[in-house]
Every structure is written in structure tokens, then in C-alpha cells.
Amino acid sequence: MKQKLLSLFLLVWAVILSGCETKDEVRGVFPDAPDYVQAEAWFDGGHSAGKDYDVFYIVPTCVFDQVDENGDTCHYMDIRNELHRLAVDSPLRLAKGIFADEANFFAPYYRQITIESWMKSDTVIESRFRLAYEDIVSAFRYYTEHLNEGRPFILAGHSQGGKAVIELLKREMDDELYARMIAAYPLGYPVEDSDVSPYLLPAADASGTGVFVTFNSVSAPDRLPPLLAGSRAAINPLNWRTDDTPATKEDHLGSVFIKTDGSISSEQAHVIGACLDKETKALVVSGVNPEEYYTPSLAGLFPVGNYHVVELNFFYRNLQQNVKLRAATFFQQEKGGDR
């Protein structure tokens, strides 16, 4: 009797699982996986521009939940949805301008989790993020095996993309790859004490290689939400210091805002100052009005005075210069046999 009940239980459970192949209470409905052999799975087709080094970039969260005709909710980007691609293309063009001014730019489309997902519990966030990270791993492995061709590279991402960079450094990096990694930029996401890897070394200055660069921008330390708190390291992108020495407006090389086609709509230098808060590692920004950069639709994540959404814009020229400096240092070290 017990054996029959067990068999019945297993049969029922198998039926339940088979119905969860496309949805469950955590994931909802999810789109088909990208095929990174196909050019359509990459921003701008994923082609090399013939430069000496690469940037592998992971775009931040840009899409909202969608409800399908059956009333089921999708918590992921569909890379074949043109509206979703349009939503991520503008942030990708912003990042390309920063990181790939003199590099090949490889950026995969992936089933990123939606903005609403980040308002859930840590358990739900991590459960949903697993699917997004599966795509990132697939894209990164395809990139290293078929697209990189042995060139030095930079790993970079912002927000959800920053989280993905941290996970790649923990789970996918090895000595051979690390020897070619110029630097990593997991921007807008905390590197916590639990994020342990021999390849997670914090940057200490402007030119170090094989290190990671991160910061989270606010008007005051209490504007740092729990989601972005708890980083064990940060660096000031204006003076490239890790202590609380203030950087002045003179250190600010330029904020850049772009149009959807990637062209610059506005640029202004020497308007922002910043210093790191000792206790929280938050980057406290001065010289701008917090109300001007507040997005009501994201109030559940980012209160007034949190500059998460625009921090790449704020530090555009400083980051652009820093990428070039770290790359130049890498090649100089390589030439001198120091690597």
C-alpha cells in the first residue's frame, strides 16, 4: 500500500513539475533561452572592431513585468521582444561610449530579471536571478571560446550587470583567463564579505590591473537602500582613492547624457564633487540637486538622493579615461614582462 501511495505521489509530482517547465510561483512565465551562436543575441551583432582588447559588458535592469494573454506574469526580458531590446539598447550605447572608446564591445542580450523583481525578498531575487545568470554564463563561455581570440579583456556591468560580473569572477574565472583580465567594473552593486574569490581584488588606485572597481552614488549615506548596502570595498571615481579624501569639482571630467541613438544630448564638466563615507562605503555626491534625478516609478527601490540610475552618466568621462589608463598599464606590464 505504501509503495502504491509513493508511486502515486511521484506520478502527481511529475505532472506538477511538467507543468512548471514554463512557469512557477517564483519565476512566472519565462521566454526561450538566447542562442549566443546567433548574432541577434548580441548588441550590434557581437562583432570585433579589430581593436587590441575587448570589453564584455552586462547591461543593467531595464524592463518591467509583463502579463501575457493568459494572465500569467513574465519576470524576465524576452530578447526577441523589440520593445525590450529598445529598452536596453540606450544603456548599452551609454556603456559602449564609456568602456569601448578604443576597445571591441561584446554585450549579450539576456533574460534579465525585471525591475519589480528587485522589490521582492532576497530569496525571490536570488531564485529569479539564477535564470538570468544561466544566460550570462552561456554568453561568457561562448565569448571566451569563440569571440575573444586570446585578447586581453575588461569585464564590466552596472546594477544587475554588476552583480553578474561579481558572480563571473567567483564562478567562471580561472588563472588563464585572469592573466588576460585588465580589470573588472561591477558598478552599482556591493561586493560583500561573502563574495570570496582570489580574483576579487579591490582597486586601490587609478591604474591597477586585475582589480575590481565599484561604487554606489548617493546624496547622503542614508540614501543607500538595503539592496545596495554592505559593500566591503569602494573607490571614488573622481580621485581614485579608497579613503574619505574628498574629490572636488576640478576632478570631475564630465557628466554625459545621451539620446536613444547614442549621440550626446548634453555634457558638463567640473560640476560634481564626491567623497566616500567610511562606514557605509557609499559615494556621497555633491553639486547636483537630488530632486532632478529622482524617478517616481522607481521609488520602491531608489529614494530621493539615490543616484543609481544616473551614476554612469555622472562619471562618464572619468570612467572612460580610467578604462584607457588601466588598459595602457596592462599592456605596459605585459611588454615589460611584469605579468
pLDDT of residue 70: 86
pLDDT, tens digit, 9 for 90 and up, residues 133-176? 999 999 999 999 999 999 999 999 999 999 999 999 999 999 99
pLDDT, tens digit, 9 for 90 and up, residues 34-65? 999 999 999 999 999 999 999 999 999 999 99
- Please determine, for residue 1, whether its predicted confidence score (pLDDT) is greater than 50: no
Q: What is the pTM of this model?
A: 0.91
d(CA 294, CA 288): 12
pLDDT, tens digit, 9 for 90 and up, residues 200-230? 999 999 999 999 999 999 999 999 999 999 9
pLDDT of residue 63: 96
What SS3 class is residue 129? helix
pLDDT of residue 21: 34
Binned at pLDDT 50, 70 and 90, residue 25 comes out as very low
d(CA 292, CA 271): 14
d(CA 98, CA 157): 11
pLDDT, tens digit, 9 for 90 and up, residues 300-329? 899 999 999 999 999 999 999 999 999 999
Q: Which residue has the cell 531608489?
A: 302
Binned at pLDDT 50, 70 and 90, residue 30 comes out as confident
Name residue 108's beta-bridge partners.
42
pLDDT, tens digit, 9 for 90 and up, residues 81-134? 999 999 999 999 999 999 999 999 999 999 999 999 999 999 999 999 999 999
Binned at pLDDT 50, 70 and 90, residue 15 comes out as very low
**Distance set, CA 280 to CA 244, 277, 301 (Å):** 11, 6, 18
Residue type, position 62, single letter: C
| Cell numbers given for 249 | 569639482
d(CA 234, CA 282): 8
| Cell numbers given for 138 | 552561456
What SS3 class is residue 162? helix
pLDDT of residue 29: 83
d(CA 3, CA 156): 54
